[in-house]
């Protein structure tokens, strides 16, 4: 049988000196030293090995081979005179007796240096992703992804979950993001949709009598890209539990995730159970966001009443004024103004500030408007010399958002207020069930319409009778947040057809609307469904956090660009007219 290699490029050690071996891999580099003498580096998936060319014939052969060609090298291992502690094989080298080209690199030059590919233009990296992935620094993120998924799968099985795959071709969903549609050749004018999530299928599995389900599920949404969101497709740890409540879901993830984050993460400290639980409205008040980074010890204070009546217009009656106090702040005025400018770019609202001097006088920013409020502000905010006070003012939601972004930026800018090297988890709970739609001006579902309202049917009937404001109804819905990144949303599901109909009637949709839009789930629930709950943490975001990357594309093997294009494969692309005819599709040109 043909033996392609005796060892990998990361396997040989000093104990192997004198042994005849064969390695294979990519020719990473050749360095000529005088006549008929050269050093070469062969790289494979596992690592690198140095070869030393001392033969005239082999010297001529190696000179003619382009870098990044794949080669095999047969020769003898010997101890290196000049050792390299930076690589595992740094104590040895191979003196070749035979070199064979297995795959020739035929072009004149590379689009970028392999070992410096992360410095290249992103379009080039994505177009030549197969070269980008040869860079060990890029490859290690994909290896990390594989190891994390394996660990998750193993842990979920140990917790009694069955891995069940759900359909990829399904019906279009009337809720959520835009669907990717697939024309049905045998059913002209009709379409399948790629699943935005296996939501209905996993709930149907609970109705079918399965107790604990999970899968590493592909999801497809026609969304715009962000740093933490890939357009097109993404993967999530999808799970559902029958006869379960919120605490059951929390207990599983609080047991599964911390060990994985501690073992595979850039930081080796992760929150232990139980994770902190923060009501949604409290999160907005204290952190200005429903995705707080609990590594930062700063919180927001409401100073609306304390500054009311000053000459500064943004503090006027009717506006909310939020403050964040940063003690021992050494930022210069220039640093502070730059930070405020960045906050304004991100939020569209201008933030304000002042500092507390050694004599407790206020200086800089809006200090001149607050001189007559100095004593009350010092007392209420517990100010001391060296404090920086960041301020946001405006309508409540805008002030909270601006202050929240400022808090996060200040936490990152002042090291004493951020314990960076750890993973801090929290649950955001008690989300509003309903909100007033910006466009419609009428009551709409705030998040997931299939969440169970806290209080069940009774609270909906009270709202219907006008006894309570429907905007005060909360849902048994929760988000999992880690280091300021939302990993997942989940909920206790509304499994009762009567409660489901009443919940939809609140937003002007009747029983027939529910039956038409969600026929399988509604009908299944009418056959006796168990209470059930679930969640679906995003795999891509999880690995991004573990790898310490800022862009989710760094942890996806073959990501699309920001415009949802695969520039390597040329997708999306035109197709032949014959294919369109078979699908009964006619293109309308703009």
Residue 413 forms part of a structural domain: yes
Grouping H, G, I as helix, E, B as strand and the rest as coil, residue 208 is: coil
Q: Are residues 371 and 448 in the same domain?
A: no
Q: Are residues 377 and 490 in the same domain?
A: no
Residue 125 forms part of a structural domain: no
Q: Are residues 81 and 154 in the same domain?
A: no
Nearest to 254 by CA among 478, 494, 12, 576: 478
Q: Which of 59, 81, 103 lies at the terminal end of a domain, its last residue? A: 103
pLDDT at 278: 98
- Region of 34 please: left (phi>0), alpha (psi -120 to 50) or beta: left
Cα separation of 121 and 119, whole Å? 7
Cα separation of 214 and 237, whole Å? 7
> Pseudo-torsion of CA 497, 499, 504, 506, nearest 10°?
160
Residue 279 forms part of a structural domain: no
Q: Are residues 379 and 467 in the same domain?
A: no
Q: Are residues 381 and 462 in the same domain?
A: no
Residue 36 forms part of a structural domain: yes
Residue 119 forms part of a structural domain: no
Q: Are residues 162 and 249 in the same domain?
A: yes
**Mind listing the pLDDT tens digit of every residue in the chain (590 residues)?**
356 899 999 999 999 999 999 999 999 999 998 888 999 999 999 999 999 999 999 999 999 999 999 999 999 999 999 999 999 999 999 999 999 999 999 998 999 999 999 999 999 999 999 999 999 999 999 999 999 999 999 999 999 999 999 999 999 876 667 899 999 999 999 999 999 999 999 999 999 999 999 999 999 999 887 767 788 899 999 999 999 999 999 999 999 999 999 999 999 999 999 999 999 999 999 999 999 999 999 999 999 999 998 989 999 988 999 999 999 999 999 999 999 999 999 999 999 999 999 999 999 999 999 999 999 999 999 999 999 999 999 999 999 999 999 999 999 999 999 999 999 999 999 999 999 988 888 999 988 888 999 999 999 999 999 999 999 999 999 999 999 999 999 999 999 999 999 999 999 988 898 888 888 889 999 999 999 999 999 999 999 999 999 999 999 999 999 899 999 999 999 999 999 999 999 998 87
CATH number at residue 92: 2.40.50.140
Beta-strand ranges (E) seen in 372-512 are: 388-394, 425-432, 434-436, 443-445, 474-482, 485-492
Q: Are residues 261 and 142 in the same domain?
A: yes
How many domains are contained in the chain? 4
Q: Are residues 309 and 327 in the same domain?
A: yes
**Residue 274: is the preceding peptide bond cis (ω within 30°)?**
yes
Residue 112 forms part of a structural domain: no
Residue 273 forms part of a structural domain: no
Contacts 24+ apart (CB under 8 A), 247-254: 248/533, 249/478, 249/490, 249/533, 249/534, 249/535, 250/274, 250/275, 250/427, 250/478, 252/159, 253/480, 253/535, 253/537, 254/425
**Is residue 71 a contact partner of residue 22, using CB atoms and an 8 Å limit?**
no
Q: Are residues 263 and 157 in the same domain?
A: yes
Q: Calculate the alpha carbon distances from 389 to 366, 411, 494 in Å.
A: 10, 13, 44
pLDDT at 232: 86
Nearest to 110 by CA among 94, 127, 95, 97: 127
Cα separation of 321 and 548, whole Å? 34
Cα separation of 119 and 536, whole Å? 34
For 573, the domain range is 137-267+535-582
CATH number at residue 194: 3.30.930.10
CATH number at residue 320: 3.30.1360.30
pLDDT at 517: 85
Cα separation of 218 and 224, whole Å? 17
Q: Are residues 149 and 258 in the same domain?
A: yes
Q: Report yes or no on whether pTM surpasses 0.75.
A: yes
Question: For the packed helices 497-505 and 456-464, what is the interaxial angle rounded to 10 degrees?
Answer: 30
pLDDT at 1: 35
Q: Are residues 453 and 559 in the same domain?
A: no
Q: What is the DSSP string of 311-341?
A: S-GGGSTT-EEEEEEETT----HHHHHHHHH
Residue 278 forms part of a structural domain: no
For tokens 């009270």, name the residue: 462
Q: Are residues 474 and 395 in the same domain?
A: no
pLDDT at 146: 98
Q: Which of 417, 446, 466 lies at the terminal end of a domain, its last residue? A: 417
Q: Which of 400, 417, 434 lies at the terminal end of a domain, its last residue? A: 417
């Amino acid at each position: 049988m043909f033996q392609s290699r005796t060892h990998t490029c990361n396997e040989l050690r000093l104990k192997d000196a004198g042994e005849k071996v064969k390695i294979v891999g990519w020719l990473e580099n050749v360095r000529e030293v005088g006549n008929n003498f050269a050093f070469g580096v062969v790289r494979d998936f596992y690592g690198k090995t140095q070869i030393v060319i001392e033969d005239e014939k082999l010297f001529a052969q190696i000179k003619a081979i382009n870098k990044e060609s794949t080669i095999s090298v047969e020769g003898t291992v010997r101890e290196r005179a000049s050792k390299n502690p930076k690589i595992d094989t740094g104590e040895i080298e191979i003196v070749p007796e035979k070199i064979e080209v297995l795959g020739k690199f035929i072009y004149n030059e590379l689009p970028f240096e392999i070992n410096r590919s992360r410095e290249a233009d992103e379009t080039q990296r994505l177009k030549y992703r197969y070269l980008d992935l040869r860079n060990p620094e890029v490859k290690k993120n994909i290896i990390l992804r594989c190891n994390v998924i394996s660990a998750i799968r193993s842990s979920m099985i140990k917790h009694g979950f069955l891995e069940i795959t759900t359909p990829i071709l399904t019906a279009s969903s009337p809720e959520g993001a835009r669907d990717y549609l697939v024309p049905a050749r045998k059913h002209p004018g009709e379409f399948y949709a790629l699943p935005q999530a296996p939501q209905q299928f996993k709930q149907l599995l609970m109705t079918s009598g399965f107790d604990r389900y999970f899968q590493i599920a592909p999801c497809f949404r026609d969304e715009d890209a962000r740093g933490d969101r890939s357009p097109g497709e993404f993967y999530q740890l999808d799970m559902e539990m029958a006869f379960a409540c919120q605490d059951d879901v929390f207990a599983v993830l609080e047991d599964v995730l911390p060990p994985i984050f501690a073992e595979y993460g850039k930081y080796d400290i992760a929150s232990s159970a139980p994770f902190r639980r923060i009501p949604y409205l409290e999160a907005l008040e204290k952190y200005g966001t429903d995705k707080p980074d609990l590594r930062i010890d700063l919180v927001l204070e409401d100073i609306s009443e304390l500054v009311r009546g000053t000459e500064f217009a943004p503090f006027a009656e009717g506006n909310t004024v939020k403050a964040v106090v940063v003690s021992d702040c050494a930022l210069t005025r220039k640093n502070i103004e730059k930070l405020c400018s960045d906050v304004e770019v991100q939020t569209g609202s201008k933030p304000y500030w002042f500092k507390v001097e050694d004599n407790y006088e206020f200086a800089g920013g809006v200090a001149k408007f607050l001189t007559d409020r100095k004593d009350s502000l010092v007392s209420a905010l517990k100010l001391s010399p060296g404090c920086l006070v960041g301020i946001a003012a405006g309508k409540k939601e805008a002030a909270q958002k601006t202050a929240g972004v400022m808090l996060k930026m200040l936490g990152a800018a002042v090291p004493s207020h951020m314990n960076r090297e750890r993973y801090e988890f929290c649950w955001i709970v008690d989300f509003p069930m309903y909100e007033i739609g910006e466009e419609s001006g009428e009551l709409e579902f705030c998040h997931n319409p299939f969440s169970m309202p806290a209080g069940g049917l009774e609270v909906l009937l009270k709202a219907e009778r006008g006894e309570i404001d429907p905007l005060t109804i909360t849902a048994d819905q929760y988000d999992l947040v880690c280091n300021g990144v939302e990993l997942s949303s989940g909920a206790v599901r509304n499994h009762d057809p009567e409660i489901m109909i009443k919940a939809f009637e609140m937003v002007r949709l009747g029983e027939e609307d529910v039956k038409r839009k969600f026929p399988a789930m509604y009908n299944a629930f009418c056959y006796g469904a168990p209470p059930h709950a679930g969640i679906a943490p995003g795999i891509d975001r999880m690995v991004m956090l573990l790898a310490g990357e800022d862009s989710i594309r760094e942890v996806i093997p073959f990501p699309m660009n920001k415009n949802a294009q695969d520039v390597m494969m040329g997708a999306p692309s035109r197709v032949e007219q014959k294919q369109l005819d078979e699908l009964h599709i006619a293109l309308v040109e703009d």
